[in-house]
């Protein structure tokens, strides 16, 4: 389970690049109850999505020339520069060199060998998101990729992840967790994109999952607010009820109403 006691390699930030910050703010306010606070010129307008006064995501305007609207997942690193060097060594690419963000931290943007964008955040004053795993916040991250073993080897080299298989009827699910952690600390999964009928094998990506109370109602609200239900709500025993969505500008993400922990 993802917590704010961030470890090396665990997701500690997520942000949205969108062509319309006002429109996106309204959409996510409807879905999750977030409010958006735009930043000033000193941070290029980069703003914060907040829930009950706590930061739960970042957001910024992007132009068509800069790329499509998308969610980006950041993983914790104690040394963004060393992380960038390992990314290059293992066949990835550095899109944005490690850069100080004032006194808050140091970040870098990469792509993995399959071209999937991800980022790293080296905390200084800002340790990361204020809340995770609660309703309306980031709770899981899932990579859709053509080659799960290759992706696992790459991210293991970059972040030290440990990888395990969770069996289910008809197959298994590849889970990732920080080094030395138990399976209870797993924060994400790796999925062969060709096995998922709603995904495009030519466009692998990291999907952030946000916790909700009612998956069906949230999916319906997304559609009513101009978004798209890419995968209608599905129930999985022991996991919960989840759906895949896209916001009105095409940014892909997922929602889940998680099953209660075993024994609760």
Q: What is the pLDDT of residues 133-147, one digit of tens each?
A: 999 999 999 999 999
Average pLDDT over residues 150-159: 97
Round to whole Å and give the CA distance between 191 and 126.
Answer: 31
As beta bridge partners, residue 117 has 111
pLDDT exceeds cutoff 90 at 42: no
pLDDT value of position 183: 86
Average pLDDT over residues 44-70: 93
Strand bridging mode 138-145 / 188-192: parallel
Q: What is the share, in percent, of the chain residues with pLDDT greater than 70?
A: 99
pLDDT value of position 263: 56
Q: Which residues of 198-228 are buried (b: 16+ CB within 10 A; e: fewer)?
A: ebeeeebbbbbbbbbeebeebbebbeebebe
Round to whole Å and give the CA distance between 246 and 234.
Answer: 16
Average pLDDT over residues 36-49: 89
Res. 39 pLDDT band, cuts 50 70 90: confident
Look up residue 142 and give its two tokens.
Answer: 């899932």
Res. 237 pLDDT band, cuts 50 70 90: confident
C-alpha 144: how far from chain center:
12
Q: Which domains does the chain have, with CATH numbers?
A: 11-123 (3.10.180.10), 138-258 (3.10.180.10)
Q: What is the share, in percent, of the chain residues with pLDDT greater than 90?
A: 88
Round to whole Å and give the CA distance between 127 and 28.
Answer: 23
**Residue 6 near residue 127 (C-beta atoms within 8 A):** yes
Round to whole Å and give the CA distance between 113 and 151.
Answer: 8
pLDDT value of position 221: 98
pLDDT value of position 262: 62
pLDDT exceeds cutoff 60 at 225: yes
Dihedral of CA 191/219/216/136: which sign?
positive
């Amino acid at each position: 389970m993802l917590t704010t006691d961030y470890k090396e390699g665990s997701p500690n930030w997520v942000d949205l690049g969108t062509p319309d910050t006002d429109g996106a703010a309204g959409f996510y306010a409807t879905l999750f109850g977030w409010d958006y606070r735009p930043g000033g010129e000193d941070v290029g307008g980069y703003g914060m999505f907040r829930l009950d006064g706590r930061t739960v995501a970042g957001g910024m305007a992007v132009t068509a020339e800069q790329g499509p609207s998308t969610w980006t997942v950041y993983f914790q690193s104690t040394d963004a520069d060393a992380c960038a060097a390992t990314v290059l060594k293992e066949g990835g690419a550095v899109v944005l060199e490690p850069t100080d963000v004032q006194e808050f931290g140091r970040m870098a943007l990469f792509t993995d060998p399959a071209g999937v964008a991800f980022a790293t955040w080296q905390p200084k004053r800002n340790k990361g998101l204020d809340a995770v795993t609660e309703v309306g916040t980031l709770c899981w991250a899932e990579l859709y990729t053509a080659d799960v073993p290759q992706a696992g080897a790459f991210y293991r080299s970059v972040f030290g992840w440990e990888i395990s298989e969770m069996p289910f009827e008809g197959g298994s699910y590849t889970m990732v967790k920080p080094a030395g952690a138990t399976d209870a600390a797993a924060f994400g999964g790796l999925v062969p994109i060709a096995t998922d009928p709603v995904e495009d094998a030519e466009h692998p990506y990291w999907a952030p999952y946000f916790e909700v109370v009612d998956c069906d109602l949230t999916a319906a609200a997304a559609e009513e607010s101009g978004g798209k239900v890419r995968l209608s709500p599905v129930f999985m025993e022991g996991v919960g009820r989840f759906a895949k969505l896209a916001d009105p500008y095409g940014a892909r993400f997922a929602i889940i109403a998680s099953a209660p922990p075993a024994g609760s």
